[in-house]
Amino acid sequence: MIFNLLTEQDILALRRVIDASRRIMAFTGAGVSEESGIPTYRGHGGTWTKYDPEKYASIDYFRRDPSYFWRFFREVRMDIMSKAQPNGAHLALVELERRGRLSAVVTQNIDGLHQRAGSQQVYELHGNTTRFYCTRCREYYDLDTIRAALQKEDVPHCGCSGVLRPDVVLFGEFLPEFAMERAIAEAQACDLCLVIGSSLVVYPAANIPLYAKQAGAQLAIINIDPTPLDDYADLVLNTPAAELLAKAVEVQENK
Ligand code: NAD
């Protein structure tokens, strides 16, 4: 992966936009958790290069053959998700919220790391892959229960014999209405939208930073690769997020 090395100038530039704002909304994607050891979908080493998202991330395919998703989950995702720890970027957002500067984190991530880091106001646009529910009776299950079930069966089942599924938005499903409404409201109320680690190509989520910009907020994008919204942004930093945010906000990194 080729990216710019972090410079003092980047840190100061980010600190300047943060210090000038009163109400920050963070909009995060897979890249914010990359330094926690969770691969992104796109780009170098992304999981899409090895597994077929048309199958493991599609509701139609899940209904036809849930074992494909569960095999992918057991082999690729389960251990990574349970071992991952929040990094400096997650912790910086917690600190900004604690200081009363950040009102919400709107995330496309499904790893729950913002909440584990301590963020209070988190809106998950794509659900959470550490939660599961029964497709028949909607009873909820946690990751430990699923791990134990996967030792006994290829496709975990509920006590009512319904098939269990992850509490994530699969291709072919709608985004959760409440989270989307809150995300739009936060975008329209913030004075700085801080995009961290998102390719900004997944819609409708990628509209959120645009709503913020259209409502008059500053837009800062921290992403290793260029994004389609770079031309609209007031600040673009193509550097890894964890150290940059930790230094700009002055928090200790989790290493
Ligand atoms: P994406 O995979 O499309 O893009 C990630 C972006 O992050 C890339 O543009 C890359 O340049 C950038 N990036 C990678 N490492 C970075 C780092 N250390 N610092 C800064 N930027 C970095 O992800 P997306 O935009 O979130 O959208 C795709 C979908 O991926 C979402 O629906 C999300 O649910 C899902 N996803 C989530 C996780 C997770 O929960 N951790 C992991 C993979 C994919």
Candidate from 10, 40, 125 with most ligand 1 atoms within 8 A of CB, to mutate: 40
pLDDT one-digit tens code per residue, 215-235: 999 999 999 999 999 999 999
- CATH for 1-38+84-126+172-255 is 3.40.50.1220
How far is ligand 1, taken at its centre, from the CA of residue 157, in Å?
Answer: 30
The model's confidence at residue 149, banded by pLDDT at 50, 70 and 90, is very high
Asked if residue 1 has pLDDT above 80, the reply is no
How far is ligand 1, taken at its centre, from the CA of residue 142, in Å?
Answer: 24
Angle at 57 between CA 51 and CA 59, to 5 degrees: 140
Asked if residue 2 has pLDDT above 80, the reply is no
Rounded Cα distance, 42 and 199, in Å: 8
The 8 Å CB, 24+ separation contacts for 227-234 are: 227/195, 227/198, 227/199, 227/200, 227/201, 228/200, 228/201, 229/195, 229/200, 233/195, 234/17
pTM of the predicted protein model? 0.93
Q: Ligand 1: residues whose CB is within 6 Å? A: 29-31, 33-35, 38, 40-43, 108-111, 126, 197-199, 202, 222-225, 240-241
Q: What angle separates helix 207-214 from helix 177-189, to the nearest 10 degrees?
A: 30
pLDDT one-digit tens code per residue, 241-254: 999 999 999 998 76
Q: Which atom of ligand 1 lies nearest, measured to the CA of 33?
A: 41
Q: Catalytic residue positions?
A: 126
Q: What are the domain boundaries of the chain?
A: 1-38+84-126+172-255, 40-83+129-168
**Domain at 40-83+129-168: CATH architecture:** 2-Layer Sandwich (3.30)
Asked if residue 57 has pLDDT above 80, the reply is yes
Nearest CA to ligand 1 atom 8: 199
Candidate from 4, 41, 113, 235 with most ligand 1 atoms within 8 A of CB, to mutate: 41
How far is ligand 1, taken at its centre, from the CA of residue 245, in Å?
Answer: 16
To 10 degrees, the CA torsion angle through 39, 40, 42, 47? 40
pLDDT at 41: 75
Greater pLDDT, 53 or 167: 167
- For residue 103, how far is the Cα from the chain centroid? 17
pLDDT at 207: 95
Nearest CA to ligand 1 atom 15: 31
Q: Which atom of ligand 1 lies nearest, measured to the CA of 198?
A: 25
Asked if residue 23 has pLDDT above 60, the reply is yes
**What's the chain's average pLDDT?**
93
The model's confidence at residue 184, banded by pLDDT at 50, 70 and 90, is very high
pLDDT one-digit tens code per residue, 88-142: 999 999 999 999 999 999 999 999 999 999 999 999 999 999 999 999 999 999 9
How far is ligand 1, taken at its centre, from the CA of residue 38, in Å?
Answer: 9
pLDDT one-digit tens code per residue, 72-87: 999 888 989 889 999 9
Asked if residue 4 has pLDDT above 90, the reply is no
Nearest CA to ligand 1 atom 19: 240
